[in-house]
Copies of this chain bind each other. A is one copy, B any other.
């Protein structure tokens, strides 16, 4: 599996639609995973696979909007494109507000469908790249011992070693050592870099 592969999860209870759309997308180099059942899709869903979901709106068991909600409820940021024969405006508005990439009507124009999938691919890539960068930071932060993390928060808050020592009930020298280790382990050479790293990781520092 190469990095630039992108899978479209096709969910539609009409097998004819699955085949037709599947062929179209495969011809353009996309991988396809077809599902006739929304629950089967949800059950086997792997968020780590780059891709998007192309959902029929009206399906047995779970309709498209509910499936979209179920996806985001389980922490997935899977991009969703809707495809429907009998949608209405309020439904399309709800779908778009819930973050759908597009809301297409059957019979669908190939151009529109491909544009939507391309947009989903772009957004998915963006999200994954942000997640990857955040993840590499979190990984490095996990290398710090609890005490080092504590010291780091104070440093990021702009405290002097002496102040940190007072608040943590120890002496300046100890803080210096922890501080040095934090800088080494995180691979930063200035407090400025440390602060930026902490900001990206969403670390608030220590209040007043």
Min distance, Cβ A147 to any Cβ of chain B, angstroms: 20
Interface residues of A in 96-124 (CB under 8 A from B): 96-97, 102-103, 105
Contact pattern, A 144-175, Cβ under 8 Å of B = 1, otherwise 0:
00000000000111110000000000000000
* CB <8 Å contact, B191 and A158: yes
A189 to B105, CA, bound (A): 58
Task: Say whether A205 faces chain B, with CB atoms less than 8 Å apart.
Answer: yes
Select which of B96, B105, B157, B192 is within 8 A of A157 by beta carbon: B192
Neighbouring B residues of A193 by C-beta, 8 Å:
158
Neighbouring B residues of A15 by C-beta, 8 Å:
none
Q: Which of A88, A93, A189 has the most CB of B within 10 A?
A: A93
* CB <8 Å contact, A102 and B93: yes
A2 to B87, CA, bound (A): 43
Neighbouring B residues of A192 by C-beta, 8 Å:
155-158, 191, 195, 205
Min distance, Cβ A99 to any Cβ of chain B, angstroms: 10
Select which of B87, B89, B191, B196 is within 8 A of A87 by beta carbon: B89
Task: Say whether A92 faces chain B, with CB atoms less than 8 Å apart.
Answer: yes
A157 to B205, CA, bound (A): 20
Interface residues of A in 16-66 (CB under 8 A from B): none
Task: Say whether A190 faces chain B, with CB atoms less than 8 Å apart.
Answer: yes
Task: Say whether A199 faces chain B, with CB atoms less than 8 Å apart.
Answer: yes
13 contacts between A and B (CB under 8 A): A87-B89, A89-B89, A89-B103, A90-B105, A92-B92, A92-B93, A92-B103, A93-B96, A93-B103, A97-B102, A155-B192, A158-B190, A192-B195
Which 6 pairs from chain A and chain B are nearest by CB? A158-B190, A158-B192, A96-B96, A195-B195, A192-B195, A89-B92
